[in-house]
Amino acid sequence: MPAKRQDGPFDWIDAQREQRRRAGLVRELRPRPATSPLLDLAGNDYLGLARHPGVTAAAGAAAREWGAGSTGSRLVTGSTELHARLEAELAAFCGFEAALVLSSGYAANLAAVTALTVRGGLLVSDESNHASLIDGCRLSRAETAVVPHADPEAVRKALDGHDGPALAVTDSVFSVDGDAAPLRELADACRAGGAGLLVDDAHGLGVLGDGGRGAPYAAGLAGAGDVVATVTLSKSLGSQGGAVLGPARVVEHLVNTARTLIFDTGLNPAAAGAALAALRLLRGEPGRAERVREVAGALHAGLTAAGLAAVRPDAAVVSVRAPSPEAAVRWAADCRAAGLAVGCFRPPSVPDGVSRLRLTARADLTDEQVARAVETVAGTAPRPV
Ligand SMILES: Cc1ncc(COP(=O)(O)O)c(C=O)c1O
């Protein structure tokens, strides 16, 4: 009998690849060099801290002091005094009682959504939430109701009549369009329905609120007993990792029940040290948060004046619609050829029909660089947009 082909079980992926190719949805990794002539408006280094000498030196010092890895789960050997310091300072800065650091913002969202819901409970999730919140809903044992975007009334209705634990989850700033959630109204809706509110502040920390204290702080919700936030250390803080911020009893509950904390190696010391140094810089130089908002406003004003369909940014993300996924890919490539790196969003990251470029503002951009970015995006735009 001839031997069975060993690669047969994966033949179906070729059909999927062909479908992606025909739809203009092929993705590929493009390793970037350490130094690049491109003007970078594609990354999430909002405050320009990823390469700040104080931040990189802190990463090196932490690795030398604590080791290159944390050596274990935070519940075994992976919780250092450095993690504890970072948690205390992060919680105090953002106005929460306690914080828990995890290995990514993704892991923080999975931890918070799954640990704060129960079988028979209800999760109410904005339709535009980040993939990590969506995955948290998929992993949760609660029922999930997906509600229209930024719609407190819809949250109120979804909670109406539900008896038992409930949690509403929302991004504070939506990662593709850059618009902000109506947090105060959402909190009112949650309070009326007896639900907790979980806010993913990945794009708010370092940008919104007094000195960059984040969106829950700006909305007067930080420190409330019924509000929990998640953050990433990988955007404004220029490092890597994530955290859940909330009441001490919530953090204690997560330490005991959150699988992405218990079964994951603790955040590496270099990342914790870098994030702590970046947080201290942000605290000492609150003008950085103001500057990134100013740059986002200038990008939006310039793009709009050039006739492009740019969404008004509520924080650092500026989104510009493209006519199709293929046009978005070509547009981003033309920008790159002209010396500008921009993000390109198409399905499945965004719904069909709303492919776009995403420009991220940075506090360390000069006015001349902002003008050059606008000129490049406008000069390479597909017609009509
Ligand atoms: C809104 C939002 N939440 C969560 C995350 C995940 O954070 P991290 O990259 O630290 O895993 C991101 C980052 O991509 C994000 O944009």
Name the pairing type of β-strands 356-360 and 340-345.
antiparallel
Same domain, yes or no: 370 and 290 = yes
Same domain, yes or no: 301 and 209 = no
Which among 96, 45, 382, 68 is positioned nearest to 233, based on CA atoms? 45
CATH of residue 212: 3.40.640.10
- Give domain status of residue 11, yes or no: no
List of residues 6+ apart from 154 with CB closer than 8 A: 147, 148
Looking at the structure of the chain, the number of domains it has is: 2
CATH of residue 303: 3.90.1150.10
Distance, in Å, from the CA atom of 157 to the CA atom of 193, rounded to the nearest integer, reads 9
List of residues 6+ apart from 243 with CB closer than 8 A: 87, 90, 99, 100, 101, 102, 108, 230, 231, 233
pLDDT higher than threshold 90 for residue 350 = no
- At residue 322's C-alpha, the angle toward residues 317 and 328, to 5°, is 90
- The per-residue pLDDT for range 201-239, each reduced to its tens digit, is 999 999 999 999 999 999 999 999 999 999 999 999 999
Query: 111 C-alpha to center of ligand 1: Å?
Result: 13
Both tokens of residue 195?
Answer: 């639900």
Please report the sign of the dihedral spanned by the C-alpha atoms of residue 167, residue 168, residue 169, residue 171: negative
Comparing 183-197, 239-253, 370-384, the range with the smallest average pLDDT is 370-384
* 325 alpha carbon, distance to own chain's centre: 22
Distance, in Å, from the CA atom of 59 to the CA atom of 56, rounded to the nearest integer, reads 5
pLDDT score, position 6:
73
Query: 240 C-alpha to center of ligand 1: Å?
Result: 10
- The per-residue pLDDT for range 118-156, each reduced to its tens digit, is 999 999 999 999 999 999 999 999 999 999 999 999 999
Query: 161 C-alpha to center of ligand 1: Å?
Result: 33
To test ligand 1's pocket by mutation, which of 234, 236, 237, 349 has the most ligand atoms within 8 angstroms of CB? 234
User: Does the CB atom of residue 130 touch ligand 1 within 6 A?
Assistant: yes
Which of 284, 299, 328 is where one domain is finished? Answer: 284
Same domain, yes or no: 214 and 350 = no
Return the SS3 of 319. strand
One DSSP character per residue, 199-259 reads EE-TTTTTTSSGGG--HHHHTT-TT-TTEEEEEESSSTTSS--EEEEE-HHHHHHHHHH-H
* Distance between start and end Cα atoms, the chain: 60
Which of 284, 317, 341 is where one domain is finished? Answer: 284
List of residues 6+ apart from 329 with CB closer than 8 A: 24, 344, 346
Which percentage of the chain shows pLDDT scores above 90? 87
Which of 242, 257, 284 is where one domain is finished? Answer: 284
pLDDT score, position 385:
47
User: Does the CB atom of residue 325 touch ligand 1 within 6 A?
Assistant: no
- The per-residue pLDDT for range 290-346, each reduced to its tens digit, is 999 999 999 999 999 999 989 999 999 999 999 888 899 899 999 999 999 999 988
User: Does the CB atom of residue 202 touch ligand 1 within 6 A?
Assistant: yes
Same domain, yes or no: 309 and 227 = no
pLDDT score, position 326:
86
Return the SS3 of 343. strand
Same domain, yes or no: 144 and 276 = yes
DSSP H helices in the chain: 12-22, 53-66, 81-94, 105-115, 131-139, 152-159, 183-193, 215-218, 248-257, 259-262, 269-284, 287-305, 325-337, 367-379
Task: Assess contact for 139 and 275: CB atoms under 8 A.
Answer: no
pLDDT score, position 184:
98
Same domain, yes or no: 269 and 310 = no
- Give domain status of residue 33, yes or no: no
Q: Which residues constitute the domain of residue 356?
A: 286-379
